[in-house]
Chains A and B, each alone.
Chain A
Amino acid sequence: MSAVTLTINDRLVTAAAGETVLAAARAAGIDVPTLCYVDGLSAHGGCRLCLVEVGAGGRLQPACFMPVAEGMVVRTDTDRLAEYRRMIVELLFAEGNHVCSVCVANGNCELQDAAAATGMDHERFEYTYPKRAVDASHDRFGIDHNRCVLCTRCVRACDELEGAHTWDVAGRGAGAKVVTDLNQPWGESPTCTSCGKCFMACPTGAIFRKGSTVAETDHGRDRLQFLVAAREKKQWIV
């Protein structure tokens, strides 16, 4: 595997050809915020939080998809990026019904973390207050579409790790939502194995353990990483 050298934030960084800018940056200890990206699952490029500037013109590219190239010049930390990232998080908040104070994932939520990290101290967009439902028909888990940011982490975890592909996305635009099987109640899903990987993958309180009260969610994400390492590297490290 050939190595390439690129510049990230004025630092020379070496990466393997075919690697993404995100992987190269993180390997070099440069933080790039992400929301829909999960190590070990395929990239989705949906949230746009990992946008970086590439080349002299500063073209915007998602780091999770952008392959590294010899001589590439990347910036991850410009004012423009900071502004866009904050705006992206604000748009996510405006699009759904996110109320941290009464959310099961309060204190354990990647959307909340992203808001803090991007300095979102208020919302500049009008809330859309969509009317969305809660499906609590499953024995162990529930999904609150109000809190879903359509990152599709549940869809990919279910498909790529569990292999069940119970979850998918239905609808378009503002009407898009994650569904189980043929858009039927989760509790009636013939394919769901109740493994809980979608819950572990969910960045917010959208997929929750039934019986959870406010701020009580522990997604147990380290177990997802344990599974990824076990599957890909045959390493069972806890």
Chain B
Amino acid sequence: MADRIVIDPVTRIEGHAKITVQLDADGRPTEARFHVTEFRGFEKMYEGRPFWEMPAITARVCGICPVSHLTASAKAGDQILAVRVPPAAVKLRRLATWAQVLQSHALSFFHLSSPDLLLGMDSDPARRNIFGLIAENPDLARAGIRLRQFGQRIIAALGGQKIHPAWVVPGGVRHALPVEEREWVRERLPEAKQTTLTAIGLFKGLMEKFRAETEVFGKFPTMHLGLVAADGSWETYDGAMRFCDADGTTVAEVAPARYQEFIAEKAESWSFVKSTYFKPRGPAGVYRVGPLARLNVCDRMGTPLADREFIEFRGLGREATNASFLFHYARLIEILCSVEKIEQHLDDPDLQSAHVRAEAGVNSPEGVGCCEAPRGILFHHYKVTDDGLIRSANLLIATAQNNLAMNRTVTQIAKHYITGRDVPEGILNRLEAGIRAFDPCLSCSTHAAGQMPLHVELVGPDGEVVSSLRRG
């Protein structure tokens, strides 16, 4: 008799999802799937709205990375206006994207994933959360929370509020960075840098302990996709989209506006998230996006400390850097790079410029905006009427682009650890942790970390629940 294991909901991720593991008659897993169970229908809602309103409306997709949606949306708007965005506005937008990467990654690492890494995959699930971390290592937990605060405060300084600041607009931004806020950032920079370096040291120290997990938490060769600057360095705001193969060979490097030539989307009956693949290779063209992918596609980071870590990271070899467990490592290097970039650009007088917004009417019927969200490359594609009302909108988000890889990851973990119907809790947590490495954002509101119950059911082929396990 074939059974099915269901993990619902998956905890410590952004949004609601479940995992199912299909077992064969001998209790061995045949396939595992990652299901996103919430339907939101944003693209349809946008139709008929003026494109000027789109940045703030689309930012509501997500409370974790609203800046990324604002930026991609405003960049699509820039193209509809057909203006050149003032250089000062570009610098301010870049500053916001670094703060966004920093705060989101800090949340992923410290709040969501470090309980697995520091308390252990098999530790008591009641304590395996941010509160358990606070009890175990209060200094580290505090530092992590303050690191996220650092990024959030920069976003608030620019946009007026931490979440959903309607500050990035078609043609530029609404206003410059106030001087007093700049000084606050300057004061907190050394602490942010130190916390990041500590975390990187900590993670590298743990890599030996998690050798087994590294091998099976989504370690397989795939392509990678990310933005790169004109000089090939790490990029979050602009540049070309570069696809590289698992061995690092560049397969394509093109303007993001051509994304539809290279990325195909398909819908699955069992998930509300679409799956994407590299179009020229068909559905076999699985690629990953996000921190790991960005560090696989770029030639260098572009800041001294981050480059040092980058060389070490890439020194692990291309086989190693295809392990999804190293998303965590890449994430920390990106935080470091963001801190350094903020430091390098903080004294640019353009950040206080009065010329931050270009205004125009509707000069182009279509626009594609692209930037790197913390979780991976993000596209907003709008078609508008002559009056600037949205005719159609397509949002291509990171989690959809990682979907095929996430499904392979849970399958790989299930096949490695599950040997029969009796599955220990720690193994189920590993399935979740495999997903957490990708830090998927399922575009729902946040909920208290580690507080939701985990419900696992073994279901027979006739739908009958064979056994049930509840955690939380």
Residues of A within 8 A of B (CB): 101-102, 104, 133-137, 139, 142, 144, 187, 210-216
Does A210 contact B48, Cβ atoms closer than 8 Å? no
Does A216 contact B166, Cβ atoms closer than 8 Å? yes
Q: For A137, what are the chain B residues with a Cβ–Cβ distance below 8 Å?
A: 387
Does A213 contact B169, Cβ atoms closer than 8 Å? yes
Chain B, Cβ-Cβ closest to A185: B387
Does residue B317 face the partner (Cβ distance < 8 Å to A)?
no
Question: Which of these binds chain A: B54-62, B209-217, B286-294?
Answer: B54-62
Does B55 contact A213, Cβ atoms closer than 8 Å? yes
Does A104 contact B53, Cβ atoms closer than 8 Å? yes
Mask: chain B, 335-370; 1 = CB below 8 Å from A; 0 = not: 000000000000000000000000101000000000
Min C-beta distance of B321 to chain A, whole Å: 40
Q: How far is the CA of A202 from the CA of B77 in the complex (A)?
A: 26
Does B388 contact A136, Cβ atoms closer than 8 Å? yes
Most buried by A among B48, B55, B164: B48
Q: For B359, what are the chain A residues with a Cβ–Cβ distance below 8 Å?
A: 211
Does residue B174 face the partner (Cβ distance < 8 Å to A)?
yes
Chain A, Cβ-Cβ closest to B49: A134
Does B60 contact A211, Cβ atoms closer than 8 Å? no
Does A216 contact B174, Cβ atoms closer than 8 Å? yes
A-B contact pairs, 12 of them (CB 8 A): A134-B49, A134-B50, A211-B52, A211-B359, A213-B52, A213-B53, A213-B55, A213-B166, A213-B174, A214-B53, A214-B55, A214-B56
Sorted nearest first, the 4 A-B pairs with minimum C-beta distance are A214-B56, A136-B387, A214-B166, A213-B169
Does B387 contact A101, Cβ atoms closer than 8 Å? no
Min C-beta distance of A175 to chain B, whole Å: 19
Q: For A144, what are the chain B residues with a Cβ–Cβ distance below 8 Å?
A: 50
Q: For B154, what are the chain A residues with a Cβ–Cβ distance below 8 Å?
A: none
Interface SS of chain A: loop
Q: How far is the CA of A136 from the CA of B48 in the complex (A)?
A: 10
Min C-beta distance of A211 to chain B, whole Å: 6
Does B53 contact A210, Cβ atoms closer than 8 Å? no
Does B48 contact A134, Cβ atoms closer than 8 Å? yes
If A133-B48, A134-B49, A134-B50 touch, whether A215 touches B387 (CB-CB below 8 Å) is no
Does residue B333 face the partner (Cβ distance < 8 Å to A)?
no
Min C-beta distance of B62 to chain A, whole Å: 14
Most buried by B among A137, A211, A213, A216: A213
If A102-B57, A211-B359, A212-B53 are given as contacts, then 15 extra A-B residue pairs at C-beta distance below 8 Å, sorted by A number, are: A101-B60, A101-B164, A134-B50, A142-B387, A144-B50, A210-B50, A212-B52, A213-B52, A213-B55, A213-B166, A213-B169, A213-B170, A213-B174, A214-B55, A216-B166
Interface SS of chain B: loop
Chain B, Cβ-Cβ closest to A211: B52
Chain A, Cβ-Cβ closest to B388: A136
Residues of B369-399 at the interface with A, using a CB-CB cut-off of 8 Å, are 385, 387-389
Identify which of B56, B166, B169, B388 contacts A210 (C-beta below 8 A): B388
Q: How far is the CA of A94 from the CA of B56 in the complex (A)?
A: 23
Min C-beta distance of A208 to chain B, whole Å: 8
Q: How far is the CA of A210 from the CA of B385 in the complex (A)?
A: 14
Q: How far is the CA of A220 from the CA of B38 in the complex (A)?
A: 42
Q: For A216, what are the chain B residues with a Cβ–Cβ distance below 8 Å?
A: 166, 174
Q: How far is the CA of A139 from the CA of B387 in the complex (A)?
A: 9
Does B389 contact A213, Cβ atoms closer than 8 Å? no
Q: How far is the CA of A104 from the CA of B50 in the complex (A)?
A: 11
Q: How far is the CA of A139 from the CA of B170 in the complex (A)?
A: 17
Min C-beta distance of B155 to chain A, whole Å: 16
Min C-beta distance of B79 to chain A, whole Å: 15
Mask: chain B, 172-192; 1 = CB below 8 Å from A; 0 = not: 001000000000000000000
Q: How far is the CA of A101 from the CA of B49 in the complex (A)?
A: 14
Does B174 contact A214, Cβ atoms closer than 8 Å? no
Min C-beta distance of A122 to chain B, whole Å: 18
Residues of B52-79 at the interface with A, using a CB-CB cut-off of 8 Å, are 52-53, 55-57, 60
Q: How far is the CA of A214 from the CA of B73 in the complex (A)?
A: 13
Q: How far is the CA of A214 from the CA of B57 in the complex (A)?
A: 8
Most buried by A among B49, B53, B359: B53
Does B388 contact A215, Cβ atoms closer than 8 Å? no
